[in-house]
Amino acid sequence: MDYLTLSEIAKRARQNLSKNVWDYLIGGADTESSIRRNRHGVDSWVFRPRILNEVSSVNARSEFLGVPLRLPVLLAPIGSVQVFESGGAASVAKAAKEFGVLQILSSVCTPEFEALAQQVPGPRIFQLYLLGDEAWMDDIIARSIEAGYTAFCLTADTQTYSRRERDIMKRYIPRSGRQVSVADFGYQSSMTWKTVEHIKSKFDIPLMIKGVAVAEDAERCVASGVDVVYVSNHGGRQLDHTRACIDVLPEVVAAVDGRVPVVVDGGFMRGADIVKGLCLGATAVGMGRLQALAMAAGGEPVVLRALEILEHEVLTTMALMGISDIKDLNGELLEKVEPISHAHVLSAFPLLEEGY
């Protein structure tokens, strides 16, 4: 199918997935309030567009850790991405490469990091969950450097696995199988700032910390030599009752004060959402569920198509705001208001509710 909108991609994903896999994708922790807040937060910012600026050419290209980006988007790490389409991480990698954005590979995916680097060479970030001791971690980091990874991402909001009631109530264990018991998180839960200092002192690869939720931790990241601060609440899949990530962004950007790039994810589904993140100071925006929806709708070509549609949405939004270059996006172009619709995980696609 020739997809012309992201809504059509989301609709097809729903049709293609079993209830178990669909719930794994859209679900979150406990009452799922963090998911709804993410989306409510994004909807709470509206534009203050400027008129009569020349926008015959609009630029949304940038770079991240020295890698050129056609769009300031990172494909966020999605564990078990192979459950959405059998090519798994390789399908995402090919689409990211062809379009020109960076993929963050989750360590619970197939193909695994070394095989993927061989299969689809190119810049890529590797995200790790600690499933072993320090020697185990050191070995994996050394191998990821050897395999040519651009940066290394440690996810710090998953010290234990949350209670995802959609899965629990169906007695469903997602294929990554990580939901079994808190004991399985022994290594992940013993991760501390010392782990960060250890990695920084031993390895020469940019380090990204994912899961920053307050300015104080952003400050501590920078003080510890972290190279990228990644604001995230894991798409509302870990701690329930968190603030929307877009609402955390301004205090983190202020704390980091331009010393390192800041990435944000959580509820960003559309081109206009990306523009809002950039206005608030993010260097790049991570796309989680949108990437997985595109995978479910048809794998690599649909991930590529979703990126093309996102780009079209970003460029259109910027032109209508009177902004011709992403470097000119700033907080003055936004204002906070009360959203007009009820927020939920798919509320970025309101036409689906009307039966389109």
Binding site for ligand FMN (CB under 6 A): 24-25, 38, 76-79, 106, 108, 127, 155, 210, 232, 234-235, 237, 265-268, 286-289, 292
Of 350, 332, 346, which Cα lies nearest the Cα of 22? 346
Judged by CB, which is closer to ligand FMN: 91, or 127? 127
Q: How many CB atoms lie within 10 A of CB 133?
A: 11
Judged by CB, which is closer to ligand FMN: 94, or 237? 237
Minimum Å gap between C-beta 295 and ligand FMN is: 10
- Does 234 participate in catalysis according to the annotation? yes
Q: With beta carbons less than 8 A apart as the criterion, state whether 55 and 319 touch.
A: yes
Judged by CB, which is closer to ligand FMN: 267, or 299? 267
Terminal Cα-to-Cα distance of the chain (whole angstroms): 15
Judged by CB, which is closer to ligand FMN: 104, or 323? 104
DSSP 8-class letter at 264: E
Residue nearest to ligand FMN (CB): 288
CA atoms within 13 A on the CB side of 303: 33
DSSP 8-class letter at 258: T
Of 293, 318, 319, which Cα lies nearest the Cα of 306? 293
Length of the chain in residues, anyone?
A: 356
- Round to whole Å and give the CA distance between 348 and 338: 16
Catalytic residue among 234, 241, 342, 344: 234
Judged by CB, which is closer to ligand FMN: 87, or 288? 288
How large is the C-alpha radius of gyration of the chain? 19
Quick one: 49 exposed, middle or buried, by C-beta within 10 A (0-12, 13-18, 19+)?
A: middle
Q: With beta carbons less than 8 A apart as the criterion, state whether 276 and 45 touch.
A: yes
Minimum Å gap between C-beta 85 and ligand FMN is: 13
Minimum Å gap between C-beta 165 and ligand FMN is: 15
What are the residue numbers of the active site?
234
